[in-house]
Amino acid sequence: MDFTKMQGLGNDFIIVEAISWEEAGKYQVHAEKLCNRFLGIGGDGLVVIGNDSEADVFMRIFNSDGSEAMMCGNGIRCVARYVYEKKLVSGTAFSVRTMSGLKYPVLELDSDSVSQVRVDMGEPVLQNQAIPVNAPGSNLGLEVLLEKGCLTGTAVSMGNPHFVVLVDSIEATPIEAWGSEVEVHRIFPERTNVEFVQVLNSDEMIMRVWERGCGVTQACGTGACASTVAAVLNGKTGRRVTVHLLGGDLLIEWDKDNNRVYMTGPAENVFSGRIELA
């Protein structure tokens, strides 16, 4: 199997090609082994792509634990650069079919080389039943009872579920302990990604993430989008925010009509190779 290793702000992926959306599903059984950082290639996820009948290309993502993800912001930027450089698409703007619907990347070029990728991530979902969250009422001020204490946060879906917790200090936050417990909490029937956010000012925030199916990662694009939406809804920031992640920065914009969220950030090639599938 030929593959390319790519990363977006340190969130790394193994990218392979398949002839169809259905054929891509056959790679799921290999995801956990391939993503193993000691026994495989290593990565936060296995991304299978190819030309598509419903969009220009498709993208299916299998997490490092073997589960399938609905969407991945850093992953789609990597895919956008890959399909452009491999000439699977003819222009710098195209459509990508994902488990959470069509997404629309636009490549920013510098002397014909991809410098940044801007992606229309769609409209955030704010209704509990659709996120999904097993709780009545608003997605704001949700309380999650933990073994030791209670966390209050905001639920948002960006095609995948997120629970955003505003904290006073990232450094003082037990991200692994809280994240692992919240991910599988009964209030989230499909599990959830968990973001911890320290707002610096109306234009900047620090975010750390516990990703569903992966654990702590260097960055999460959909998480940065969900965190910005949550910060706006809670009156903490404006609609154009630089999100500081472990792997670097993302620019997130939520339009004034509450319709579309746009994410801009880098995507880099790491290496390519071939590996035998057992």
Over residues 42-54, the pLDDT tens digits come to: 999 999 999 999 9
Mean local confidence (pLDDT), 202-218: 96
The pLDDT of residue 148: 86
What is the structure's pLDDT at 155? 98
CB 40 within 8 A of CB 276: no
Parallel/antiparallel/unpaired status of strands 149-157 and 161-166: antiparallel
Q: Quick one: tokens of 85?
A: 């450089």
Do the beta carbons of residue 77 and residue 71 sit within 8 Å?
A: no
Give the pLDDT confidence of 126-166 residue by residue, as tens digits. Answer: 999 999 999 999 999 999 999 989 999 999 999 999 999 99
Roughly what angle, to the nearest 10 degrees, separates helices 73-85 and 221-233? 130
Yes or no: say if 10 and 43 are a contact pair by the CB < 8 Å rule: no
Question: What band does 170 get if pLDDT is binned at 50, 70 and 90?
Answer: very high
- pLDDT at residue 43 in the model: 97
Region 173-199: mean pLDDT is 97
Q: Residue 259's pLDDT is what? A: 84
Looking at residue 111, its pLDDT comes to 85
Angstrom distance (rounded) from CA 166 to CA 108? 32
DSSP 226-271: HHHHHHHHTTSS-SEEEEEETTEEEEEEE-TTS--EEEEE--EEEE
Residue 100, pLDDT score: 94
User: Which tens digit of pLDDT belongs to each residue from 93-136?
Assistant: 999 999 999 999 999 999 888 999 999 999 999 999 999 999 99
Phi, psi at 130, each rounded to 5°: -85, -20
Sequence letter at residue 211:
E
Judge whether residue 258 has pLDDT over 90.
no
Confidence (pLDDT) at 22: 97
Distance CA 1, CA 17 (A): 9
Q: Return the residue matching tokens 């209670």.
A: 150
* DSSP letter assigned to residue 28: G
Catalytic sites, residue numbers: 72, 220
| Sign of the four-CA dihedral 190, 259, 138, 152 | positive
Query: Among candidates 39, 44, 45, 103, which has minimal Cα distance to 77?
Result: 103
Provide mean pLDDT across the span 205-228. Answer: 97
- Contact between 28 and 68 under an 8 Å Cβ cutoff? The reply is yes
Q: What is the predicted pLDDT for the residue at 122?
A: 93
Residue 56: alpha-carbon gap to chain centroid: 20
Give the type of residue at 98: T
Average pLDDT in the 192-202 region? 98
pLDDT for 278 beyond 80? no
Query: What integer pLDDT is reported at residue 112 of this predicted model?
Result: 81
14-65 pLDDT tens trace: 999 999 999 999 999 999 999 999 999 999 999 999 999 999 999 999 999 9
- pLDDT, the chain, mean: 96
Q: Are 72 and 60 in contact (CB under 8 A)?
A: no
Q: For 101, left (φ over 0), alpha (ψ -120 to 50), or beta? A: left
Q: For residues 66 and 57, is the Cβ–Cβ distance under 8 A?
A: no
CA distance 158 to 65: 21
The fraction of the chain above a pLDDT of 70, given in percent, is 100
